[in-house]
Structure 1
Amino acid sequence: MSKPAFDLKKWTHVLALGFGSGLAPKAPGTFGTLAAIPLVWLQSQMSPWLALVWVGLLFLLGCYVCGKTAEDIGEHDHGAIVWDEVAGFSLAMWTLPFEWPYLLAAFVLFRFFDIVKPWPIRLLDHKVPGGLGIMLDDMLAGAMSLAVILLLVPYLPFG
């Protein structure tokens, strides 16, 4: 199998690859999630409503750049395409404080849901084509991560 021809001169490829983090030889989704942390910090400086708009813009941008990059390389949702992790982790951190316990909890839960893909994440992953399909499963993983943390906050030692 030949290696996909990512073109780092194209802004769409650079963003889809999570600023290059998706090119990590092992665990590109994990590195893509880590690459989201500076954007999550920026988001944490916003009001919740502005942060929600921000996450929505990351999602819409991701639908375009992931879809375009997948089309360019001729492969749907190649592992190096990690903008979906960037947007999904941003949603997982939407209303949470930018503090290490929350970052760690959101990171672990998000990676769990993204890797395991429980229903309905798996359904979206297999049934929705194009950039929207690449993005939706990670956005749902982010929403599920945030929901779990918000439900558990009263019981967490850092909540």
Structure 2
Amino acid sequence: MPEPQPHAPPPPPRYSLRRFMLSHPLHLVALGFGSGLSRFAPGTVGTAWGWLAYLVMQMWLTQAQLGLVIAGSLVLGWIACTITARHMGVSDPGSIVWDEVVAIWIVLWLAMPMGFWGQLIAFGLFRFFDAAKPGPVKWADQLFKGFGWRGGFGIMFDDLVAAFCTLLVIAFWRWI
């Protein structure tokens, strides 16, 4: 007989989420410095914040330094998503958007230089793969579920696969 699964509590009200976000530095990171608190499409808002943050970082950092920031952000994100999801009592809350932030950084870092329209297309492709979860993204989303390190990795992993799919489409687009 399977073990009964605990029911996830309903998401807290937005004012409580703001207080929650500021209660621990890793919550601040996981919630995308507040972009995950959006009432409408927090994943899209988090991705947009990531896009803007990347453009700002690009003004000050070399490509190698951006790569190091992204690598460090992957590790930090895994930890922040693990702890924040556990503290929220939800295995993959929609307000956790650090996974979208780092994934769009990877897309932009590997696909640049691009003008505004190319970046907008990359943004749109990533949002499509992340939200619709076709094929490999759906597989990645279902692979690691739950709490603890495995669940924190799962929060990040499906967005990394969505970023990879986005980069494949961009590479194909450039090839033809």
- TM-score tier by shorter-chain length is 0.7 to 0.9
Aligned counterpart for 2:34 among listed residues 20, 23, 40: 20
CA distance in 2, matches of 1:123, 1:53: 28
CA distance in 2, matches of 1:60, 1:98: 27
Report what 1:71 is aligned to.
Answer: 86
Report what 2:5 is aligned to.
Answer: none
Q: Which deviations, in whole Å up to 9, do the C-alpha atoms of 1:10-42 show, x marking residues without a partner?
A: 111111111111111110000000110233111
Identity of aligned residues (%): 38
Report what 2:10 is aligned to.
Answer: 2
Where in structure 2 are the equivalents of 1:1-159 lying within 5 Å? 2-4=10-12, 6=17, 7=20, 8-41=22-55, 42-43=57-58, 45-47=61-63, 49-95=64-110, 96-97=112-113, 99-128=115-144, 129-155=150-176
Q: Report the residue type matching 1:153 in the other structure.
A: R
| Distance apart, 1:154 and its partner CA | 4.9
CA distance in 2, matches of 1:2, 1:77: 13
- Decide which moves more: 115-124 or 28-37: 115-124
| 5+ long unaligned stretches in structure 2 | 1-8, 145-149
Q: Which deviations, in whole Å up to 9, do the C-alpha atoms of 1:17-76 show, x marking residues without a partner?
A: 1111111111000000011023311147422x4433332222111101011100011101
Give the superposed CA RMSD. Answer: 1.8
Name the TM-score, length of structure 1 as normaliser: 0.87
How many residues are treated as equivalent by the alignment?
154
- Decide which moves more: 106-115 or 116-125: 116-125
| 5+ long unaligned stretches in structure 1 | none
Q: Which deviations, in whole Å up to 9, do the C-alpha atoms of 1:75-125 show, x marking residues without a partner?
A: 011000000000111111123125312210110000000011122211121
